Structure 1
Amino acid sequence: MSKAAAKSDDAPKKKGKLPLILGLVVLLAGGGGGGYWYYARQKAAAAAASQGSDPGKAKAGEHGEGGHEAEAKEGGALLPLDVFTVNLADTEAQRFLRTNVQLVIDADEAALKEIEEEKLPVARARSVVLDLLSTQKSADIATAEGKAALKKAIAAQTAKAIHHEVLDVLFSDFVIQY
């Protein structure tokens, strides 16, 4: 009789695990879908805020391809100048700066392609940036004001080198070795 009792105990345990597993799968799928919805909503709200409109009033057609093209024209084109590693002008110790510089220029994609293919404007811009970076002191560029002043100087000098207005200078890395 103990064998019959053991068989009857095993059957309910197997049925008990299946609803638990299905419940977990549904819970995980719902959590993933909810997370994606929240992320997409936050991204749409940020895009609407950068365009100056109310995220609740955003229309479906505003975020289409035409909207991105207009946004790209307003923002300019991105000209990467790659990584720079320079000795800084500190006299009390040997210090280095490693940074990755990208220029946002007032040009369309065709003009950007032309600048990149000529290679001379990009080489001149890199040279100007190297000269500017190597004359900096670590204490000056470690502050937010120092970085802002450096960005202005880079924008002014590289604009002359590439013969286009530089709208912004972007640092994707900025490491000072002390």
Structure 2
Amino acid sequence: MSAAAAAPAGDAPAKKGSKKLIIILVAVLLLVLIGGGAAFFLMKKKAAEDGGEEGDADAGHGKAAAAHAPAAKKPERKPGHPPTYVALDPFVVNLADREQERYAQIGITLEVDEPKFADEMKGYMPAIRNGILMILSHKTAAELLDREGKEKLAEEVMREAVRPMGIEIDGEEEDPAPGKKKRKKVPVYNPVQHVHFSSFIIQ
């Protein structure tokens, strides 16, 4: 009788130990689940912030520039795909020479990064031609006959061709006033990659 009564008393510590073990396991499992959930939430939040910053950067370049990368790096052209050219009607303009009347007849073809941008340029063509004519009318025959003058003209045309579309390309930095530092300008991507002269007549 005493032996039968002692059996339940001996099982009590074993049951208490197994309950403690179960409680510890449940607590550890909850900690792992909470930690994993917190890590997943933080990673998702960071990814969303990174995506938002990229969207904000694209939005700041105007309607025409929004479809193009803001960085100054030229996208790699796929092999077998020729460049896209936009041929402008020839320009005939009086030059800025004071000694005698001189005029220039210049054919210009723009090389752009993709056909889509070439199509967009057509809607801005009157403004683009006007800007290029203004550049040419301030040149002298001596400036245009020189190779360096032609290269400088090509750079100016590249900048002016995209200005009506809301893309501002900075030219050469001017020396700052004494005591002031040069500002670092963020490079802006220009979809016009090259300016080609198809004809260049000065009389």
TM-score (norm 2): 0.47
Report the 3-state secondary structure (helix = DSSP H, G, I; strand = E; otherwise coil) of the residue aligned with 2:90: strand
1:128 aligns with 2:131: yes
Q: Which has the larger radius of gyration?
A: 2
Give the superposition deviation at 1:67: 3.5
Report the 3-state secondary structure (helix = DSSP H, G, I; strand = E; otherwise coil) of the residue aligned with 1:100: strand
Residue 80 of structure 1: aligned partner: 87
Within-5 A mapping of 1:21-170: 67-69=79-81, 72=82, 75=83, 77-106=84-113, 108-116=114-122, 118=123, 121-162=124-165, 163=167, 165-170=191-196
- In structure 2, the CA distance between the partners of 1:167 and 1:128, relative to structure 1 (3 Å rule), is same
Structure having greater relative contact order (Cα 8 Å, sep ≥ 6): 2
Distance 2:118 2:99 in 1: 41
Distance 1:112 1:151 in 2: 18
Give the superposition deviation at 1:105: 1.8
8 Å contact from structure 2 (residues 104, 202) kept in 1: yes
1:176 aligns with 2:199: no
Distance 1:159 1:151 in 2: 13
Distance 2:109 2:127 in 1: 14
8 Å contact from structure 2 (residues 117, 191) kept in 1: no
Report the 3-state secondary structure (helix = DSSP H, G, I; strand = E; otherwise coil) of the residue aligned with 1:79: strand
RMSD of aligned residue pairs (Cα, Å): 1.7
- In structure 2, the CA distance between the partners of 1:110 and 1:156, relative to structure 1 (3 Å rule), is closer
Report the 3-state secondary structure (helix = DSSP H, G, I; strand = E; otherwise coil) of the residue aligned with 1:78: strand
Distance 1:110 1:176 in 2: 34
Give the superposition deviation at 1:104: 1.1
Residue-by-residue CA offset, 1:113-161 (whole Å, 9 max, x unaligned): 2332x2xx11111001100001100011101011001111111111212
In structure 2, list runs of 5 or more residues that go unmatched: 1-77, 168-189
- In structure 2, the CA distance between the partners of 1:158 and 1:110, relative to structure 1 (3 Å rule), is closer
- In structure 2, the CA distance between the partners of 1:139 and 1:127, relative to structure 1 (3 Å rule), is same
The code of the aligned residue for 2:90 comes to V
Of stretches 158-167 and 95-104 in structure 1, the one that deviates more from structure 2 is 158-167
Report the 3-state secondary structure (helix = DSSP H, G, I; strand = E; otherwise coil) of the residue aligned with 1:82: coil
Higher strand fraction (1 or 2): 1
The code of the aligned residue for 1:125 comes to I
